[in-house]
Structure 1
């Protein structure tokens, strides 16, 4: 259901990890590697936390570098030995080998047929993003595949969203972010964009942020609201 009545956006910006791509394969691998049912959850939280540390302190490292450091921190927190660099890279390569959620291709197809301009915006670096989208067979749906790499600021920094709007020559108010993360939706709304929250299992909205324009359990459900 709609949180408020948004204007029809001219541009749709999609988050990638968890929003479009199913991370279950990576989750299983990380949990098995560290022998903990919560290892992936801890590691992903570290990945997000220290991407924000880099943004705030102005010392940028790309997502794979932070991910590798996160594995070292996770091992230390669990009282385990650090993994060899080669093993960490094997795990990180799984980020480029993730399938789309079952609702993604039907939802993107409906939006594409309706004439929406669609791009991605992800914290993953450009080469990883290209590999991810090719593996998931999602590339043809998107006008451009955008990464935060050029800005050297991670989402939810406002510059990441407004830079994408400038590049596509669409005003923030006429742009909608679609994401499965409360922090991403909060960042977009504070940057002046519309936003749709895709309520994937285990995800929640940030109660202290401006409300999203649309909310739905799947991309298909959000697409139906956008199409009226």
Structure 2
């Protein structure tokens, strides 16, 4: 069950990674090229998220990369393109670990760290992928921990994932903030009793049937300023 909202200040901040911290344009362009279709990335990423939820609801867990591989096959079918060879899929999925940080991210992380917040990366990817991502983007130094739903075998936005992540980081959920660029992630965190900060990355929107985020802005810097104030 969601915890009651704390009246004290939140000092733990959980961060989504893909699209929130990392710019996925490199992978987007590679998928468009591989399938010769401008809709390829959004088709694939949507399937990846959709079938991670299917695994959660049906209690049949596969890690994010495995679902991503299957989603590439599904994308080919839906776009009526030839299926990619195993080597091609491996190369595309490897790009998930070679994504740069959005330009605003280092400054925003530095601001929050300097203000005394404990920063924890929290992802649907495996811990191994998370570590590679943060190192490649040169932002790993800002994080005290990296947490993965792989430990729970249950994907965000299931409320239990946020509750467990907060407690793994040593904080009650009501004293934690989740920052993400996805409406579904914000909705999940809020329904779990956390505060939430939404970064309105291009093409992203909030879920209008969910509670409003505690903080929101166009960049991490804007959201960080609101949190610190």
Shorter-chain TM-score bucket reads: over 0.9
- For 1:160-211, what per-residue CA distance to the aligned partner results, in whole angstroms no more than 9, with x for missing partners? 1011111122111110000000000000000000000000010000000111
What's 2:19 paired with? 18
- For 1:58-113, what per-residue CA distance to the aligned partner results, in whole angstroms no more than 9, with x for missing partners? 11111111011001001011111211111101000000000000000000011111
What's 2:146 paired with? 145
What's 2:3 paired with? none
TM-score using structure 1 length: 0.96
| Number of residue-to-residue matches in the alignment | 223
Query: 1:212 & 1:116 partners in 2: Cα distance?
Result: 19
Would you say the 8 A contact 1:72–1:83 is kept in 2?
A: yes
Secondary structure of the residue aligned to 2:206 is coil
Secondary structure of the residue aligned to 1:22 is coil
Would you say the 8 A contact 1:125–1:148 is kept in 2?
A: yes
Shift of 1:8: 2.8
Query: 1:146 & 1:195 partners in 2: Cα distance?
Result: 17
Query: 1:140 & 1:169 partners in 2: Cα distance?
Result: 19
Would you say the 8 A contact 2:11–2:116 is kept in 1?
A: no
5+ residue gaps, structure 1: 1-5
- For 1:126-162, what per-residue CA distance to the aligned partner results, in whole angstroms no more than 9, with x for missing partners? 1111100010011110110111101000000111101
Would you say the 8 A contact 2:69–2:93 is kept in 1?
A: yes
Aligned pair 1:173/2:174, yes or no? yes
Would you say the 8 A contact 1:8–1:226 is kept in 2?
A: no
Aligned residue runs from structure 1 range 62-211, under 5 A = 62-211=63-212
What's 2:4 paired with? none
Query: 2:227 & 2:8 partners in 1: Cα distance?
Result: 10
Query: 1:104 & 1:10 partners in 2: Cα distance?
Result: 19
Query: 1:168 & 1:39 partners in 2: Cα distance?
Result: 36
Would you say the 8 A contact 2:145–2:169 is kept in 1?
A: no
**Stretches of 4+ aligned residues off by more than 3 angstroms:** none
Would you say the 8 A contact 2:27–2:95 is kept in 1?
A: yes
Secondary structure of the residue aligned to 1:149 is helix
TM-score using structure 2 length: 0.96
